[in-house]
Structure 1
Amino acid sequence: PPATFSDVLRCTDINTVSVAECQAAYPAGVTDNMLCAGVKEGGGDSCLGDSGGPLVCDRELQGIISWGEVECGLHHKPGVYTRVCKFLGWIRRTMQEN
C-alpha cells in the first residue's frame, strides 16, 4: 500500500540501543558516527518521511533521523540516527563562517 503521512507533528518515546545491538541488527551499515534508538519489542520508531527530524534526550539534541528498515517499528530493528556530537566541530565552524 502507498505510504500515508500525518498532517500533524508526532512523537514517540524510544530508547537508545547499544552499538553492539545496532551492529547486530545492521551488520554492514552502522559506524561510530551513528547511534540507534527504538523499542526492542517493536512499535516505536521513526518512519518514512521523518528523515532529518530530531532525537532528543533530556531536552538535548543527540541525533538526527537518518535511516532504518522500510517497514517501521520492527522487532530488533531500531532506527539509525546521525550522532550529533561527532559533528559538533563542523557545526560550530559552519555557524561561525555563515
Structure 2
Amino acid sequence: MTLTISEWLFYLESRTIHFPFSTFFSSGFASVLQCLNLPVLSEEKCKSVYGEITKNMFCAGFDKGGKDACQGDSGGPVVCGGQLKGVVSFGVNCDEPDHPGVYTEVCRYTEWIKSTIAKN
C-alpha cells in the first residue's frame, strides 16, 4: 500500500483518523496488526488535558477511553482518507479516560521529508 503524505492540517474537530497499532496485552503484543478509528479533538480540548501542545501536534481519542495506541505503537502511522496525516507520539498509559493520544502532524514536516528522501 502506498500512502500520500498529507500537506493539509486537521481543522475540524470530529474528523476521524485510522491507524494500525500493535496493542500490548498482559500476555504480550498482539500477533496480528490491529486497526482503530478515533475522533480528532480540538486544539483547545487537547491543551486542557496536556497544557503544552504545539502546532505540530494533534490529539485523538474517546472521552471514555477504552481504545488507543499503546506501548510499542509510537512512530506508527496515522491515516485519514488514504493519506499519512500523523505519527503516534504519546499519551497517558493506554486508553486512559479523558486523556487522548497525542500525534505528530506530518504536514508540518513535508518539506523535510521530501528533502531527506531526495538526499538518500
Superposed pair shares fold, TM > 0.5? yes
> Counting strand residues as a fraction of each chain, which structure ranks higher?
2
Gaps of 5+ in 1: none
Matches within 5 A, 1:8-87: 8-28=32-52, 30-69=53-92, 71-87=93-109
Scaled by the length of structure 2, the TM-score of the pair is 0.74
Q: Which residue of structure 1 lines up, in the alignment, with residue 4 of structure 2?
A: none
Instruction: Calculate percent identity across the aligned residue pairs.
Output: 43
Gaps of 5+ in 2: 1-25
The one-character-per-residue Cα deviations of 1:40-70 (angstroms, maximum 9, x if unpaired) are 221121111101111111111111001111x
Give the direction of change, closer, same or farther, for the CA distance of 1:82–1:13 in structure 2 (3 Å limit): same
Q: Which residue of structure 2 lines up, in the alignment, with residue 94 of structure 1?
A: 116
Scaled by the length of structure 1, the TM-score of the pair is 0.89
The total of aligned residue pairs comes to: 95
Root mean square deviation, CA, Å = 1.4
Whole-Å separation in 2 of the counterparts to 1:68 and 1:38: 10
